[in-house]
């Protein structure tokens, strides 16, 4: 059996199982697919679930956002929250040290090193 035949059999089994699922479970399954795979399966899935494609798209998108599985842009990320330095810092001194460090490793004018440090 070729890889194409195996993939086709797996796809047929997944498509057949959509009809056996509840609408909510089918939408959750579809929301878990990648964007390209969902795009390939959405028309057939809509037929099997007896819904319009636009309605299915809206439900899948809403479910993806609720579950945090949205594969599109706009996914929330959490960034490290640094702690402030405990002692006061002289900004002029920090800028001067950074500029000097840059000039030690590069052939650059002082004003350009200052700009890089900023």
pLDDT of res. 71 = 53
- What does the alpha-carbon distance between residue 94 and residue 113 come to, in Å, rounded to a whole number? 13
- What does the alpha-carbon distance between residue 106 and residue 84 come to, in Å, rounded to a whole number? 30
- What does the alpha-carbon distance between residue 118 and residue 113 come to, in Å, rounded to a whole number? 9
Secondary structure letter of residue 87 according to DSSP: S
- Per-residue buried b or exposed e for 100-109, using 16+ beta carbons within 10 Å of the residue's own CB: eebbeeeeee
Q: Report if pTM > 0.85.
A: no
Structure tokens, 40: 């390939």
pLDDT of res. 11 = 55
pLDDT of res. 117 = 95
pLDDT of res. 68 = 54
C-alpha distances (whole Å) from 5 to each of 2, 30, 33, 38, 43 are: 5, 22, 21, 20, 22
pLDDT tens digits in sequence order for the chain, 118 residues long: 555 554 555 555 455 567 778 888 888 888 888 888 888 888 888 888 888 888 888 888 888 776 555 455 566 778 888 888 899 999 999 999 999 999 999 999 999 999 999 9
């Amino acid at each position: 059996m070729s890889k194409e035949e195996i993939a086709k059999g797996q796809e047929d089994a997944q498509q057949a199982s959509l009809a056996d699922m509840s609408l909510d479970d089918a939408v959750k399954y579809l929301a878990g697919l990648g964007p390209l795979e969902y795009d390939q399966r959405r028309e057939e899935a809509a037929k099997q679930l007896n819904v319009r494609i636009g309605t299915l798209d809206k439900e899948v998108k809403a479910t993806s956002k609720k579950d945090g599985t949205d594969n599109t842009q706009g996914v929330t990320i959490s960034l490290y929250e640094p702690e402030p330095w405990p002692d006061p810092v002289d900004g002029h001194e920090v800028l001067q040290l950074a500029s000097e460090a840059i000039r030690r490793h590069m052939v650059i004018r002082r004003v350009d090193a200052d700009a890089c440090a900023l």
